A and B are shown apart, each in its own frame.
Chain A
């Protein structure tokens, strides 16, 4: 009896490892973004960016001796924790080996705590920017290719100072992202000697913001900074401000930068300015070229999404394993110097170099440089709305 038990166990072991070998040919990665909800107009290109990296790797045939990488999309709803956790659990059940996501900070924290940590799953978010995620206990499983909002606050304060703005009124969308960003902007701006006349929250999804506008206008200030979402309350606040004549230029942090905003507000938005995580140079240009007409690679957080997916796959190669527990320790290695610099479109080459035991320094589309507990150091694209379009006016 005992012998037979041993024999069957051994047989099962052999069988399962054989199965694992077979499956190594196909690796599934989860793409968890808010395809519905407050940033739904951004997530289409973001997902396409991540999937472009997967396709590139599959086509190269270099990853773990010719594995193909496919994506499985899940909807985070951006602000719906329950939905995001359910979608992430579905991805785990489908057997994904890593998650590119989530997108908004609140749901990212929820998925990390409730799904990623218990299941030992690696998450690389291209767009969760809350400073709170820097200190969150993550067992080394969480990374992001976008910088923390604490950095955005510093950048915004510098921009405001350069433009000679002395006082601002500040309104934020009432959630983790908005609150974190508002705190960062306030403390940075006050540190450089600016005055914040009022910090007021606004709720998303309301039709009427006249009460909020009354309070903001009464407090006054040279500029109204709207730390909200462009498809949601942020746009409503700007409309109310323009209608009542309280302000006609606005400061626009990352969540408000997108093509939809100038479209919904119209010519009155011209002259408003802001910044969003993003970079210049060879990386982003190559990505835009590669994307062609399929999607807009310069859309916010799309380069970061491409980079997030690329990092997961290169770390797998470095670890020689597709298991999150094995490759999580190699993400920082492939992202940072020393090594050969890798740009978009060179993922095949990178995988080959890694296979030959050489170091790579992934630069990617967003000039990836991971610091501290695995988050981007942060280059920002400065934007000004000109003639109804977001024009890039510089980098910081």
Chain B
């Protein structure tokens, strides 16, 4: 019984939040890594692209709600996803046409593109605040929980409760589906193969007749999809607030770099490494250990490695170690 209690406490406070947060980071990091692999620059505007995508989903959700459309127990925002992705695709293609294309034809150095993307960040940033405001927006409707902590306790008779939010479930399921689709696309389709070829060797790809503009366009479309889905999932699970997306940029980049920039599998692994290290290192293990240890060995302190104040420091330390020991990341990506 004690063993079960320990497992439930661990699942409730570490495993489930970690998996959900990791999935959100992984989806974000995939977008960053694709841009890095194919367009060859670090896209700082990714966090705010997520905010723009999520914002359009929020606005559409309100519209749908006013029409009386709902998605049963699931959030209405999921229904709006295709339209929100469409909007984000138009936004990114428009940005590419207006800004990035100019620098690409000039064969500008990556560092210039990075600064350009920073400029785009601030424009998106301002647009989001201008349209929807800087405040928290709650756009979650439908059933909030799959399992409530109190119900779980009554059901199982355990001392510990287990809460599983609908949004956490949706996040995990959606992330799995999106990753499967992405890998199928990259490995099996002609467009996907041409993207990988372009990423491996631009000149060879050009010589073998791959149209670079088409590759760039498809990349932006996929990135728009990933960013919108990640943004909406994050917004549903926590809450939609423009500023938090800008802050999310740091853990997302940490995930992409730890996994190996330009490597999609690395981005996913990196997302989970960062998420779990943030949660586990700052977790106070007392509760779990009290259940597991015999009475005389029970810890009296909190058994907490680092105070939660240092949550963000954790991802940076991991980033530093990876860059020092293995600069290409855990999975072989391009060196930074």
Chain A residues near B (Cβ < 8 Å): 174, 198, 200-203, 205-208, 210-220, 243-246
Closest-by-CB residue of A relative to B167 is A243
* Contact present for A212 and B308 (CB under 8 Å): yes
* Contact present for B308 and A208 (CB under 8 Å): no
* Contact present for A208 and B288 (CB under 8 Å): no
> Which of chain B's residues have a CB closer than 8 A to the CB of A214?
13-14, 17, 279, 282-284
* Contact present for B286 and A210 (CB under 8 Å): no
> Which of chain B's residues have a CB closer than 8 A to the CB of A213?
13
Complex alpha-carbon distance, A380 and B12, angstroms: 37
List, sorted by A's number, 15 A–B pairs whose CB atoms are closer than 8 Å.
A200-B308, A205-B244, A206-B244, A207-B244, A211-B283, A211-B311, A215-B307, A218-B9, A218-B13, A244-B149, A244-B163, A245-B12, A245-B153, A246-B13, A246-B149
B47 part of interface (Cβ distance < 8 Å): no
Complex alpha-carbon distance, A211 and B153, angstroms: 22
Complex alpha-carbon distance, A249 and B35, angstroms: 46
* Contact present for A218 and B161 (CB under 8 Å): no
> Which of chain A's residues have a CB closer than 8 A to the CB of B152?
245
Least Cβ distance of B172 to chain A in Å?
15
* SS class, residues of chain B in contact with chain A: helix
* Contact present for A245 and B148 (CB under 8 Å): yes
* Contact present for B308 and A201 (CB under 8 Å): yes
Complex alpha-carbon distance, A243 and B288, angstroms: 19
Complex alpha-carbon distance, A201 and B282, angstroms: 12
New contact pairs (17) apart from A198-B284, A205-B244, A218-B304, CB-CB < 8 Å? A200-B308, A205-B243, A206-B247, A207-B241, A208-B21, A208-B238, A210-B17, A214-B282, A216-B284, A217-B287, A218-B13, A218-B284, A219-B284, A243-B165, A244-B17, A245-B148, A245-B150
* Contact present for B307 and A200 (CB under 8 Å): yes
Chain B residues near A (Cβ < 8 Å): 9, 12-14, 17, 21, 148-150, 152-153, 161-163, 165, 234, 238-239, 241, 243-244, 247, 278-279, 282-288, 302, 304, 307-309, 311
With beta carbons under 8 angstroms apart, the residue of B150, B238, B282 that contacts A207 is B238
Complex alpha-carbon distance, A320 and B121, angstroms: 57
Least Cβ distance of B270 to chain A in Å?
18
* Contact present for A218 and B241 (CB under 8 Å): no
* Contact present for A207 and B239 (CB under 8 Å): yes
Complex alpha-carbon distance, A385 and B152, angstroms: 26
Complex alpha-carbon distance, A207 and B21, angstroms: 11
* Contact present for B286 and A219 (CB under 8 Å): yes
- In order of increasing CB-CB distance, the 10 nearest A-B pairs are A245-B149, A207-B238, A218-B284, A210-B17, A214-B13, A245-B161, A218-B287, A207-B244, A215-B284, A214-B283
Least Cβ distance of B115 to chain A in Å?
26
* Contact present for A218 and B302 (CB under 8 Å): yes
Least Cβ distance of B317 to chain A in Å?
15
* Contact present for B163 and A243 (CB under 8 Å): yes
Complex alpha-carbon distance, A213 and B279, angstroms: 10
> Which of chain A's residues have a CB closer than 8 A to the CB of B247?
206
> Which of chain A's residues have a CB closer than 8 A to the CB of B165?
243
Complex alpha-carbon distance, A213 and B21, angstroms: 14
> Which of chain B's residues have a CB closer than 8 A to the CB of A245?
12, 148-150, 152-153, 161-163
> Which of chain B's residues have a CB closer than 8 A to the CB of A211?
17, 278-279, 282-283, 308, 311
Complex alpha-carbon distance, A246 and B162, angstroms: 10
Complex alpha-carbon distance, A212 and B311, angstroms: 9
Least Cβ distance of B167 to chain A in Å?
10
Least Cβ distance of A217 to chain B in Å?
6
Closest-by-CB residue of B relative to A198 is B302
Least Cβ distance of A268 to chain B in Å?
10
Least Cβ distance of B1 to chain A in Å?
18
Complex alpha-carbon distance, A268 and B149, angstroms: 13
